[in-house]
Amino acid sequence: MTTSGKTPICGPERWTTKDRMAWSYWDLWFCVAALVDHDGDLDALAEALEEGGRLSGGGTAEAKLSHLEDLKRRMAAAGIDAETLVAGEDADPKIRAKARAKVLKQGLYPRDMTESMWHTPRERLYERALRGRWHLFPVSPEPYYRRLSNGLGEGFRSEGQTFKLARRLEAAIERTDRETAYRVPDQLAARRALVAWCYRAMERCDNSYGVIGEVGTDALLTYVSIDCEPTGIAGETWCEDLCELLAWENWGLLLHAETRPFAQLRGELAEHAERFMLALADELRAHRLRYEADQTL
């Protein structure tokens, strides 16, 4: 409650129902901001948000852009534009001022966030790259990933703590390698799980000493050295999974070894990889993930 006794409006709450669809206050604020500053052009508003994100760091802007893209989809499905949706609310000076502040200036607290703000394209596509094709593996990497997470934890590690984590991780790798020594599909699954776990560890650990990066590099290069044909995985599945995984490698794990992951991509499979990565770059760019798109290219 505020000092005036009124419950503050954070944004995800229902503002109105129109065309049998519920619309939130964020929907109102985005449309009003677009009408006030961009003649109702939501794409122009998106450009302004993206530019603001580049200047300020980007996390809040990505969340707002994710909601804006979701709003555009819902408006297209309902067959309405910003002016029709707000129905004159943009004429109220208080609403105009609040919309501009909320959309273009203010940050986000958890209470402010809609479902689409929580699940941005970056989050969805990164998770797809890490685990999105595991159900297509002859043996799913998921149990091996859970074993690593349960055994090693998923919390933050300071730079000093990473040495102990690396030793424990190496011991876990040795145990798993012994267990899967005579089961090639399991080798592929276990090593693929390890790469995903290392990616996540790189995000949450202070790798100033580089020890987690060293384990990650070895994990990735060992994984790509496994001959995929005897494992039973479809060549195109293995290829697409690898290509998408590499698009999100942002820690320099392949420094001076950039081409090694592609050793198995020959003939038709190499051509498939090229088509896939060009399409992936387009998809990433469409979601304004320009760095990842450029890396993919």
**Same-domain pairing of 218 and 165:** yes
What pLDDT is stored for residue 170 in this prediction?
Answer: 95
Region 132-161 average pLDDT:
95
Q: Is 8 within the bounds of a domain?
A: no
Res. 74 pLDDT band, cuts 50 70 90: very high
Q: How confident is the model at residue 271 (pLDDT cuts 50, 70, 90)?
A: very high
C-alpha 213/C-alpha 192 separation (Å) is 16
Domain count, the chain: 2
pLDDT at 53: 74
In this prediction, residue 8 has a pLDDT band, given cuts at 50, 70 and 90, of: confident
Residues 95 and 131 in one domain: no
Could you report the per-residue pLDDT of 39-65, keeping only the tens digit for each? Answer: 999 999 999 998 887 755 557 999 999
Is residue 290 assigned to a domain? yes
pTM of this structure: 0.87
What is the mean predicted confidence (pLDDT) over 25-33?
97
Task: Select from 49, 199, 216 the least CA-distant residue to 117.
Answer: 49
pLDDT of residue 1: 46
Q: What is the mean pLDDT of residues 251-273?
A: 93
Domain that holds residue 19: 14-119
Distances (CA, A) of 46 to 16, 38, 41, 97, 195: 23, 10, 9, 18, 35
Structural domain contains residue 6 = no
Shared-domain flag, residues 283 and 206:
yes
Residue 198 forms part of a structural domain: yes
Query: What percent of the chain lies above the pLDDT cut of 90?
Result: 89
What count of residues does the chain have? 297
